[in-house]
Amino acid sequence: MNTIEKIKSLSIWSHELKINPLEGGITNLNFLVNHGNDKLVVRLGQDIPEHLVFRSNEINVSKAAYEIGVSPKLIHSELGVLVLEYIESETLNPTGVQKNLDRIMPVIKKIHNEIPNFLSGQPAMFWVFYVIKYYANFLRSNHSSHQDKIDDLLYKASKLEKLSSPREIVFGHNDFLAANFLDDGSKIWVVDWEYGGFNDPLFDIGGLASNNDFNQDLEKEALEMYYEKTLTNDVLLKYNSMKTASLLRETMWSMVSEITSKLEFDYGLYTQENLSKFNEAFESL
């Protein structure tokens, strides 16, 4: 069954459908579906064990994110399929994230502090330093072309873990790419909760910065918005360590995807881009 047939086979439809693919996304397939007078987003994606993505967690987190008012409503789910409310909005790019930082940071704080109040089921932990070790083992056992880099990357990850301690724990989105922010003109929405889990808040802020090309001034502005006070050198060191760890995780995510993903995307180039960013960030610590 192809993707269009899969969407048409869902039990929730009562009208004719018009189905169009949505651009973006390097993990799942997303479609805009016109169903009578309603517009919905259908998201196709199975569990991805190699990336520790399990849809049961994504469903739980999506529901909680809707309850706190930051994410579209989940309308329906079944194996490999999520159907979500469609938000008439603009998908942000990195420049859009930078320009809307004062609107985005309060949403991030809300996610961090309020999602646990509405979660159900087994809580997820997204511990970046475990993820890095997990990816290293996967790359070795699957004979990755990057095996010669793994020992050095693990050594650097160990240093980053020490530099970023001790830490606070909140509930993180853990994948703040620009495309996961929607602007409806009056409100910022956040989508794609497959990596949602408890984590250090600095991982989210660091990921936001590295994924959206923040300069140092904008990074400091984001941190001061988050903490609502002047930054100490200790916070800056922890932040830069977690930002660097987020770059390493993204690099190794791409290395794994080079082996496993069937989507048409140049993961090899994406690996090299992120590896260069990681090495530069690590050397600057």
pLDDT tens digits, one per residue of 23-58: 866 778 899 999 988 999 999 999 999 999 999 999
Give the model's pLDDT for residue 268.
Answer: 97
Give the CA count within 13 Å in the CB-facing half-sphere of 180: 24
Reply yes or no: is the peptide bond before residue 49 cis, omega within 30 of 0: no
Third-level CATH fold of 7-85: Phosphorylase Kinase; domain 1 (3.30.200)
Q: Is the pLDDT of residue 121 over 90?
A: no
Q: Is the pLDDT of residue 127 over 90?
A: yes
SS3 181: strand
Q: Name beta bridge partners: 189.
A: 182
Third-level CATH fold of 90-284: Aminoglycoside 3'-phosphotransferase; Chain: A, domain 2 (3.90.1200)
Give the CA count within 13 Å in the CB-facing half-sphere of 177: 14
Give the model's pLDDT for residue 1.
Answer: 66
Percent above pLDDT 90 for the chain: 91
More confident residue, 121 or 241: 241
Q: 73-112 pLDDT, tens per residue? A: 999 999 999 999 999 999 999 999 999 999 999 999 999 9
Does the pTM surpass 0.85? The reply is yes
As a dihedral over the C-alpha atoms of residue 90, residue 93, residue 97, residue 103, rounded to 10 degrees, the angle is 10
Give the separation between CA 177 and CA 174, rounded to whole angstroms. Answer: 9
H or E segment to which residue 35 belongs: strand 29-35
Hey, where are the domains in the chain?
7-85, 90-284
